[in-house]
Amino acid sequence: MKKVVYLDNNATTKVAPEVFEAMRPYFTERYGNPSSMHSFGGSVAREVSAARRSLAELLGASPQEIVYTSGGTESDSTAILSALATNPGRREIVATRVEHPAVLNLCKHLARTKGYIVRWLSVDKDGMLDMNEVRNKISDETALVSVMWANNETGVIFPIDEIAEIAQEHGALMHTDAVQVVGKIPIKVSESNINFLALSGHKLHAPKGIGALYIKKGTRFSPFVIGGHQESDRRGGTENVPGIVGLGAAAALARKNLVEENTRVRQLRDRLQKALLERIPACRVNGHLERRLPNTLSIGFEYVEGEAILMRMDEKGICASSGSACTSGSLEPSHVLRAMGVPFTAVHGSIRFSLSRFSTEEEIEFVVRELPGIIEFLRSISPFGRDALSAICTVH
């Protein structure tokens, strides 16, 4: 296989080798059903409990507050639908315009098919929320406030604890899609008013197909997947044991690596950002420079198409993305960058680089070396790019 420079960790991550080793026995050897009466199943149930404790520790939660799911999307659906089902007297949802499709599309669906009113929160040019608008839109009619902890495209971090307090003042439940922050910044849900927090294993070096939902103790709950008694009657279906064990191991690693994510990974990201801004004319960072995840860089290259950049980078083995993998395939520009009012000259040429603790200096240097030539070439073959650039370069 061709050498790959993988800078698309907000889409999905490599399973850490330690995580894979932790999971491995649960496929062909310790394959018992944790709900079984025999000790072959029972010993597996104990490992599921140990994994739950590990994940709870990463979040600052208690193990009873964790429900395993199949991933971030199911966790989001569970939280949102539970909040609405247990608040039948309230018909309003407050959510940002820049939510992940897992929240965005469900909210739109609920508005269309069930008559819920969604009060959308806008973002400014830095991708930040206006807290006055937040205060104005959350009311005693609000059943649920759903705000992502950090945006998947720009990495911009929202003031979740502050928003959760406002929600609580109005008796609304607070949900946060935290798939992009878990393992990247410190979290302590016990000190927050958040009722629900969604996370996804494959965003933090656990495998695809496993996720979890934190449900604060005392929060009214209505299950989404109804069936057997698993997860204390909160989620039916045989437990995904290897996935759960993997997520537990990934959580332990995340606790250990949290400092590195915020120092070495951040430095690599900053270096990539600085070098690209220096070497490539007419490009700009999307999103607030400080209030941002340490691993994420969204950068808009004006007068060039993002898809073309991705294809050229792909030829060099560089993996990055334009927008979310969950929206790719559509030709519309990112809803996040549009909500930020990024000019159309840059919105189409925006690329997200997302690093991980597996990213290396050599990889960053490789991108810094290759990308300026790619952008220059693409602009040179686009009449629009050429003319616009020569105008800019005259001005500069």
Alpha carbons 71 and 198: distance in angstroms, whole number: 8
Q: Min. distance of Cβ 60 from its own copies in angstroms?
A: 26
CB atoms within 10 A of CB 228: 13
Alpha carbons 240 and 48: distance in angstroms, whole number: 9
Is the dihedral angle over the CA atoms 11, 16, 19, 23 positive or is it negative?
Answer: positive
CB atoms within 10 A of CB 210: 27
Q: Min. distance of Cβ 10 from its own copies in angstroms?
A: 10
Measured from the CB atom, the residue of 218 and 329 that comes closer to its own copies is 329
Q: Which residue has the tokens 């898809």?
A: 307
Asked if residue 154 lies in contact with residue 134, where contact means CB atoms within 8 angstroms, the answer is no
Alpha carbons 381 and 236: distance in angstroms, whole number: 55
Active site residue: 107, 283, 326, 393, which one? 326
Measured from the CB atom, the residue of 277 and 311 that comes closer to its own copies is 311
Q: Min. distance of Cβ 290 from its own copies in angstroms?
A: 28
Measured from the CB atom, the residue of 286 and 327 that comes closer to its own copies is 327
DSSP β-bridge partners for residue 228: none
Measured from the CB atom, the residue of 311 and 391 that comes closer to its own copies is 311
Measured from the CB atom, the residue of 128 and 211 that comes closer to its own copies is 211
Exposed, middle or buried: residue 300 (CB in 10 Å: 0-12, 13-18, 19+)? buried
Helices vs strands, H then E, count in the chain: 15, 12
Q: Min. distance of Cβ 47 from its own copies in angstroms?
A: 13
Exposed, middle or buried: residue 38 (CB in 10 Å: 0-12, 13-18, 19+)? exposed
Asked if residue 262 lies in contact with residue 65, where contact means CB atoms within 8 angstroms, the answer is no
Sorted by sequence, the CB contacts under 8 Å of residue 360 that are 6+ apart come out as 268
Alpha carbons 311 and 367: distance in angstroms, whole number: 14
Measured from the CB atom, the residue of 39 and 136 that comes closer to its own copies is 39
Q: Which residues of 212-221 are buried (b: 16+ CB within 10 A; e: fewer)?
A: bbbbbeebeb
Token representation of residue 215: 């449900």
Q: Min. distance of Cβ 130 from its own copies in angstroms?
A: 27
Q: Which residue has the tokens 């300026």?
A: 372
Measured from the CB atom, the residue of 265 and 389 that comes closer to its own copies is 265
Q: Min. distance of Cβ 210 from its own copies in angstroms?
A: 7
Q: Min. distance of Cβ 325 from its own copies in angstroms?
A: 4
Where would I find the H helices in 60-100? 72-85
The sheet carrying 350-354 orders its strands as 283-285, 296-301, 350-354
Q: Min. distance of Cβ 152 from its own copies in angstroms?
A: 11
Token representation of residue 168: 């609580």
Active site residue 326: yes
Strands in 254-392 per DSSP E: 283-285, 296-301, 318-319, 350-354
Measured from the CB atom, the residue of 1 and 395 that comes closer to its own copies is 1
The set of catalytic residues is: 326
